Amino acid sequence: AQSVTQLGSHVSVSEGALVLLRCNYSSSVPPYLFWYVQYPNQGLQLLLKYTTGATLVKGINGFEAEFKKSETSFHLTKPSAHMSDAAEYFCAVSSISSGSARQLTFGSGTQLTVLP
């Protein structure tokens, strides 16, 4: 079974400061990893994903994440926070299901607050 742990349900940073959101996963097979963002009262949208190849993945809005197999981590970073980054962020791992569709297993989410 696959699982995802997001450390810190709430993270606050000042505008212009580094954003670091932590994600650790467990998987018995090479994982495919995703970060999604959810703005208030909206659905989720993809920020970035790791499949194979380069372990540093760049996404939208200046976010990036690094896949570290030895640490089973996929932390999300952004060098300089903007007020518009305030949202909830979900890490997810793609798992093999018994049927023919792959399923996403989500972490519990991290609410990011950006302080002026």
For residue 32, give the nearest of 48, 18, 51 by alpha carbon: 51
Q: Rounded to whole angstroms, how far apart are CA atoms 108 and 115?
A: 23
Q: Is 43 in the site for another protein (CB under 8 A)?
A: yes
For residue 55, give the nearest of 67, 46, 65, 38 by alpha carbon: 67
Q: Is 73 in the site for another protein (CB under 8 A)?
A: no
Min separation Cβ 14 and another protein, Å: 25
Q: Is 67 in the site for another protein (CB under 8 A)?
A: no
Count CB atoms within 10 A of the CB of residue 104.
15
Q: Is 97 in the site for another protein (CB under 8 A)?
A: yes
Q: Is 32 in the site for another protein (CB under 8 A)?
A: yes
Per CB under 8 A, residues contacting another protein are: 4, 9, 32, 34, 36, 41-46, 49, 51, 90, 94, 96-104, 106-109
